[in-house]
A and B are shown apart, each in its own frame.
Chain A
Amino acid sequence: MAEGLKEELQEEDTQKGKFMTFQTGKEYFGISISYVNEIISMQPITAMPEVEDYIKGLINLRGKIIPVIDVRARFKMEPIEYNDRTCIIVINVKTTMIGLIVEKIAEVDTIEEDDIVPPPSLGKKDKEHNKYVYGLAKTGNTVKLLLDPEKLIRDEDLELLEEMQEEE
């Protein structure tokens, strides 16, 4: 019994500085592994009407019904076909469980805190990224954009919408 706990604790310990990295387009992204619940292969998605285009719909995760969002669409990038490398990263942000559809999982990387720099204020082009990126990390030859999942799933448009709904 104690073993399970120990593993879990070790996991927690080893989670520090670890990032799940994935590729979408030419860019690499990273998300702190502490948010990641599991990675599953692409699932049949039930479309939800009247939602933002990046919310692809609902999937059935062993009886739990959770929404999935397309990370490419979230960054307003051109959509691509889903293929057998496409997968869903299930993350847990506070109480919300959400699936992120990503093109391709890269690996789990350790990124030291010192290697993380705040994102420079870029030109207009990258603005869409920038909103959800809290830092840049250089590992090997690639620069990874580290995502803030809370901002990623909770966005201004939605809040605005909700406010408007309330007012109605």
Chain B
Amino acid sequence: MDNAISEKEKNMAEEFNVDGMLDMFLYESSQLLENLESIILEKQDAECFDDNDINEIFRIMHTIKGSSGIMMYENITKVTHKLEDVFYYLRESQPDNVPHMELVEHVLAVSDFVNGELEKIREGSSPDGKEDKILKDLDSFLKRLKGEIKEQGIRLPRENKHEEPSQFYIAPMASDESHFYRIIIHYRNDTQMSNIRAYSATYALKDVAEDLLYSPEDIISNEESADVILAEGFYMLLQTKAGKEEILQLISSTEAETTDIDDITAEEFGRGLVEVAQGSSDDKPIVIDLGEEKTEEGKKKDEPVVPGDYVVKSKETGKGKTLAKNQPKKQTIISVNVEKMDSLMDMIGELVIAQAVVLQNPDLKVPGLDLTNFQKAAGQLSKITTDLQEVIMSLRMMPLTNVFQKMRRIVFDVSRKLGKDIELEVIGENTEVDKNIIEHVSDPLMHLVRNSVDHGIEENAEDRIALGKPAKGKITLEAKNEGGKVYISVKDDGKGLNKQKLYDKASSNGLIGDKDITEFEDSEIFRFITLPGFSTKEQVTEYSGRGVGMDVVVKDIQAIGGRLDIASKEGNGSEMTLVIPLTLAIINGIVVQVGGSAFVIETASVKEFIRLGEDSVVQEPDGEEYIVIRGDCYPFVRLSDKYHIDNAIDKIDEGIVVVVEHEGKQICILIDKLLQEQEIVVKPIPSYIKKVQGLSGCTQLGDGSIALILDVAGLVESEERR
């Protein structure tokens, strides 16, 4: 596992190699701090750090100290310097009886401080955090440490010698406060020498411009550019701290007929004039930019810089320098904008649909047609699109490592604050999940972990010992990938759920009607905690309260097509499992028809299709209908009634009954007929339309019509509730 990570880190580092010095510093330092935190959290429960850890922490501090020194971030340099000193003495003298927990706290304090400062730098503000307190704390800790070392009769090593960096790097002025504008100037048609006026405009902006691109470029050297300017206007992209007013003022003297200034994003600025000029906002061309670099960065990462590479051959005023040597471009790893990935994803979705249009084209259904060759070619095409989908999916997969890392920290922080002694075991953190899903998993998972620490594990170790459990609580965080689903579970060996209490609470809150506790299965009772307005803790605590309950966790997870399983045994602990799909975008679905409407049912949730006679339907006095299949009784849903669909079949023997299953609960749905099974590109129902119970999305079918995707989980649950 460790190997896998370091391999990945190496790749990442390579990928970042072409990035700016500052990005590199931020990236490396953050990585080092992450390593640091994982060492600390792994060893938080140990008696002390072992030699490896001490060396590693020393090395991390030393590296950050060095690089922050070069970057002249003095407060970072000072605190890392001081912590390096501490670990220097630990390394050299190896004293006993180091107060481990205190040391851990100092390291985390430094780590938090540096992280905070890095964040400021990343945001473009200056790292102005006050380091005094940390330095003071570390100093007194170091002093005690030295005293201890002397007392133990170990000779103090000579002072840790620090070398001041002799070379410095100053990052360019933070450009975050900079604005980006697109300026278009039109001159009257009879304007003489508009190119010179255009030049004056660029000149007028010189003082405020941090970067300026313009088109046409050859305004001075090429007189014909004047005609182009008259015909098309003069375009500038400007990066500046100045506001629109100021810019207008500056170029007002150039007697333009119209001057338009629009805000653009830094990204648009980066794309340069060509694309901005083309870019209407919603029809962005979907082009994968294979990491084309700006001309000035002509060289590639694997070729070292050689003096002479940057000789300017000929140049215009301002930008657009041409270098004598323009290196050929090649690149092996590129970073791609997520937006581009998403649009590629969309395109592939469209492709899947288009393929269905072709392969299921009604024209092919002419009797007597020989389709042998067509079918062969179609098979090949299907294979390619499937591969294509797999590739794009794999591009989007990310390990859960970072999310799990966050959880370690939460367990650590919360358990310390609550004074509970808890060990966290992490299994399967390399399990990969679609990037979109990761974003949605973090919050619910955090909630579950907090809950386990706060409510799961017993308040006192004595209570645990009395129950014959080890004094130290244990939480297991596990991820695994099984059958196209990802299971992430949070297990604790704490109190477990008390069914009677849950029942009483739910009942007194009026959440479950007047049914008796014996009418519920265990899992149903556990499920009460996910009902809105249910909270067994009288007081919302700082850590698991926060105004959101388990209902929000369930809602969040259902929003991405997942579910929450709860298992618990009173006295032994609880296990909460998030079951989530590997990916959101494409599912296997069965398209069915009800009246004039098409619906999609996810293939995995279909148990069977069955034709039944009228006598299989049982109607209760209250109008509720059930279907009896082979002696078992299932709730029955008529979509035509539920969704008011006209012209649907309502005689059961004329239609088809679909048995669908969710979490072991089955219901029957009546449909008119089966259309086909195919891959379905899931699209959200436009947010303008309020959420309809039982529908989770929509999709476009082969013929361009729209089908609604049935939310089996939602349907089953709503039947259950009745």
Q: A58-B698, A168-B532 are in contact. Are A5 and B693 (CB under 8 A)?
A: no
Q: Would you call B690 and A60 a contact (CB within 8 A)? A: no
Number of interface residues of B (CB under 8 A): 40
Question: What interface size band does chain A fall in?
Answer: 20 to 34
User: Which of the segments A22-30, A40-48, A138-146 contacts the partner chain?
Assistant: A40-48
B21 at the A interface (CB under 8 A): no
Q: A58-B698, A98-B688 are in contact. Are A65 and B706 (CB under 8 A)?
A: yes
Bound-state Cα–Cα, A44 to B706, Å: 9
Bound-state Cα–Cα, A45 to B415, Å: 56
From B234, which residue of chain A is reached at the shortest CB distance? A2
Chain B 674-687: CB-based contact to A (< 8 A → 1; otherwise 0) = 00000000010111
Among all A-B residue pairs, the 5 with the closest Cβ atoms: A49-B643, A46-B706, A2-B232, A5-B277, A1-B277
Bound-state Cα–Cα, A46 to B698, Å: 10
A9 at the B interface (CB under 8 A): yes
Residues of A within 8 A of B287 (CB): none
Q: A65-B700, A161-B690 are in contact. List 9 more A-B contacts (CB 8 A).
A: A1-B278, A5-B278, A6-B184, A46-B705, A47-B597, A49-B644, A50-B692, A58-B689, A58-B706
Within 8 A of B (CB), among A92-107: 96-98
A150 at the B interface (CB under 8 A): no
From B692, which residue of chain A is reached at the shortest CB distance? A50
Count CB-based A-B contacts (< 8 Å): 88
Chain B 623-659: CB-based contact to A (< 8 A → 1; otherwise 0) = 0000000000000000000111100000000000000
Q: Would you call B642 and A49 a contact (CB within 8 A)? A: yes
A20 at the B interface (CB under 8 A): no
Picked from B235, B596, B688, B690, the residue with its CB within 8 Å of the CB of A96 is B688
Most buried by A among B346, B642, B683: B683
B136 at the A interface (CB under 8 A): no
Q: Would you call A3 and B690 a contact (CB within 8 A)? A: no
From A98, which residue of chain B is reached at the shortest CB distance? B688
From B228, which residue of chain A is reached at the shortest CB distance? A2
From B595, which residue of chain A is reached at the shortest CB distance? A47
Q: A48-B689, A66-B686 are in contact. Are A4 and B700 (CB under 8 A)?
A: no
A162 at the B interface (CB under 8 A): yes
Bound-state Cα–Cα, A66 to B235, Å: 35
B350 at the A interface (CB under 8 A): yes
Chain A nearest Cβ from B647, distance in angstroms: 12
B332 at the A interface (CB under 8 A): no
Interface SS, B side: mixed
B215 at the A interface (CB under 8 A): yes
Picked from B276, B642, B705, the residue with its CB within 8 Å of the CB of A60 is B705
A153 at the B interface (CB under 8 A): yes
Bound-state Cα–Cα, A66 to B691, Å: 15
Q: Would you call B597 and A46 a contact (CB within 8 A)? A: yes
Q: Would you call B708 and A46 a contact (CB within 8 A)? A: yes
B549 at the A interface (CB under 8 A): no
Bound-state Cα–Cα, A165 to B695, Å: 16
A8 at the B interface (CB under 8 A): yes
Most buried by A among B274, B353, B695, B704: B704
Q: Would you call B688 and A67 a contact (CB within 8 A)? A: yes
Chain B nearest Cβ from A162, distance in angstroms: 6
A120 at the B interface (CB under 8 A): no
Chain B 199-239: CB-based contact to A (< 8 A → 1; otherwise 0) = 00000000000000001000000000000000011010000
Q: A2-B215, A9-B184 are in contact. Are A58 and B686 (CB under 8 A)?
A: yes
A33 at the B interface (CB under 8 A): no
Provide 7 A-B residue pairs closer than 8 Å at the C-beta atoms, listed in order of the A residue: A2-B235, A44-B705, A46-B707, A46-B708, A48-B708, A58-B706, A65-B683
Chain B nearest Cβ from A9, distance in angstroms: 6
Bound-state Cα–Cα, A58 to B704, Å: 12
Residues of B within 8 A of A58 (CB): 685-686, 689, 698, 706
